[in-house]
Amino acid sequence: MTTEQLNAELEGQEAETVIRRAWETFGEDLVFATSLAAEDQIITEIIARNRWPIALVTLDTGRLFPETYALLAETERRYGIKIRVFFPDRVQVEEMVAEQGINLFYDRVENRQRCCRVRKIEPLRRALAPYRAWVCGLRREQSVTRTATRVVEHDAANGLVKISPLADWDEQRVWAAIAARQVPYSPLHDQGFRSIGCACCTRAVTRTEGVRSGRWWWEEPEHKECGLHVGTRHPNAEPSTLPGERT
Ligand code: SF4
């Protein structure tokens, strides 16, 4: 089966169906990378409720909100799960800060991208390295950089299959699911933070602003990705084979 065939099967399906099928397809080669965002909390609840033994990982950039650490602890306690935390490489962080300062990201887009590479992308690559596929909470309507997100696609940057069970969800549906299932979420969402990343790079926004407009608010919208979700296969690209599977 190809990624395109699996995508064709799962587009429009319920999130639970998508995750179940991903688990059936990849088994222990499947990992869920959670940022503890509201979307990710819904996926965590589905995995925990079904007792699927899918590995959960997250990143600690070293610049997160205190509320995010509290939510991590609360989520593990509530669902009786362990979420493995990956940290940036100490040497890379020390070199970056020595060369460009502790708050380099405010100066230039390139500096911000370097910080995201060091604090997010490199740890994510390490976290994903043992696996063939990963689940994430991307939604198409989150930003102009995510409108082409597919439920199943080839993640060229990380060399594995990326599965986004909530790709076609809108924000209203996310919060309805959070309420219906009493899923724990960051209290920052109730203070106007519609998307939450590092504390120094995230601010509250009004309801009329875009979901991710509070992230790197000093940059243009087309730059607003940390690099975790770039390099996925274009919808019109040639079909690719699922790693380890035959066509
Ligand atoms: Fe660095 Fe900001 Fe990116 Fe966090 S969001 S890794 S602090 S640039």
Query: Whole-prediction pTM value?
Result: 0.87
Is 244 contained in some domain?
no
Distance 85 CA to ligand 1 centre (A): 17
Q: What's the number of CA atoms in the CB half-sphere (13 Å) around residue 194?
A: 19
Is 246 contained in some domain?
no
Distance 63 CA to ligand 1 centre (A): 7
- Predicted pLDDT of residue 47: 98
Give residue-wise pLDDT tens across range 73-90. 999 999 999 999 999 999
Is 229 contained in some domain?
no
Please state, in angstroms and rounded to a whole number, the distance separating the CA atoms of residues 114 and 226. 9
Please tell me the residue having the least CA distance from ligand 1 atom 2: 201
Q: Label residue 226 by pLDDT band (50, 70, 90).
A: low
Q: How many structural domains compose the chain?
A: 1
- Predicted pLDDT of residue 214: 80
Give pairs for 110-118: CB < 8 Å, separation 24+.
Answer: 112/201, 112/216, 112/219, 113/226, 113/227, 116/226, 116/227, 116/228, 117/227, 118/88, 118/89, 118/92, 118/93
- CATH number at 91 reads 3.40.50.620
Query: Is ligand 1 within 6 A of the CB of residue 226?
Result: yes
Give residue-wise pLDDT tens across range 96-132. 999 999 999 999 999 999 999 999 999 999 999 999 9
Q: At what angle do helices 3-10 and 15-26 cross, to 10 degrees?
A: 150
Is 149 contained in some domain?
yes
Q: Label residue 230 by pLDDT band (50, 70, 90).
A: low
Please tell me the residue having the least CA distance from ligand 1 atom 3: 116
Q: Which amino acid is at 228?
A: L
Range of the domain at 184: 3-223
Query: Is ligand 1 within 6 A of the CB of residue 196?
Result: no
- Residues annotated as catalytic are 226
Distance 9 CA to ligand 1 centre (A): 36
